[in-house]
Copies of this chain bind each other. A is one copy, B any other.
Amino acid sequence: MPRVSEEHLERRRQQILDAAQLCFARKGFHETSMQDIFSESGLSAGAVYRYFKSKDDIIAALATEATVEVRTAMTNALRSDPLPTPAQLIQVIAEHVVERSGPDGPVRLAPQAWALALIDPKAAEYVKDGVRAMRDRWHEYVERMVEVGWLPPDTDIRAVATATVGLVPGFMLQHLIIGDVDPETLARGVQTLLPFGQPTAHSVDT
């Protein structure tokens, strides 16, 4: 079936990634055998290995993508005008997370990628990039918080970004592992702590 279109090749590649994502989300990187991926994709061993050099290659491709959409959602949200409050921002992100957290959802790969990064130096590279990218978004957001006067001009922006970056994995873990949290609750909690954009903010505190 040679001399196929570029598009055909890309479709095959995606077919494999889709199958692998389902398998990984269900069984994890290690417990998923290549045979699982062959079966799920409907392709033969040789076919899969034509598109990916190794299982690690497939994992790398997916682990890199796992949180891309969530980050994109965050980027869009934080750049909207007027600046969303922290509660609004986190709610948008949390909703994206929930949407992609079903039994087969790509978000389930994120904790596995974190675990992998502690073990495998190759994986550490790209997982590090992902986490850093997330923190960069928060950094940008905190800058804008300063701009609009929600935080003082002398704010240590990096320090604040470091603190806030935990909101997303914190929600992911609670959602994926315990499963009893929802974006609204999270947003309400954040609004209570960071009552920007509300007249009653921290009134007790004064």
**In the complex, chain B residues whose CB is within 8 Å of the CB of A163:** 90, 167, 170, 186, 189-190, 192-193
B192 and A151 form a contact (CB under 8 A): yes
Copy number in this complex? 4
Q: What's the Cα separation between A161 and B189 when bound, in Å?
A: 7
A152 and B193 form a contact (CB under 8 A): no
Contact flags A81-121 to B (C-beta < 8 A → 1, else 0)? 00000000010000000000000000010011011111100
Cβ contact of A189, chosen from B112, B160, B194, B204, cutoff 8 A = B160
B205 and A150 form a contact (CB under 8 A): yes
A122 lies within 8 A of chain B by Cβ = no
Give the distance to chain B from A60, nearest Cβ to Cβ, in Å.
15
A7 lies within 8 A of chain B by Cβ = no
With known contacts A177-B131, A204-B152, A189–B170 Cβ distance under 8 A: no
Cβ contact of A185, chosen from B111, B159, B177, cutoff 8 A = B159
- How many positions in chain A have a CB within 8 Å of any CB in the partner chain? 66
A168 lies within 8 A of chain B by Cβ = yes
**In the complex, chain B residues whose CB is within 8 Å of the CB of A90:** 163
The stretch from A11-19, A25-33, A51-59, A70-78 touching chain B is A25-33
Cβ contact of A204, chosen from B151, B164, B174, B186, cutoff 8 A = B151
Which 8 pairs from chain A and chain B are nearest by CB? A166-B170, A163-B189, A159-B189, A115-B115, A28-B119, A166-B166, A159-B188, A160-B189
6 A-B interface contacts by CB (under 8 A): A2-B44, A118-B177, A151-B192, A156-B189, A163-B170, A166-B173
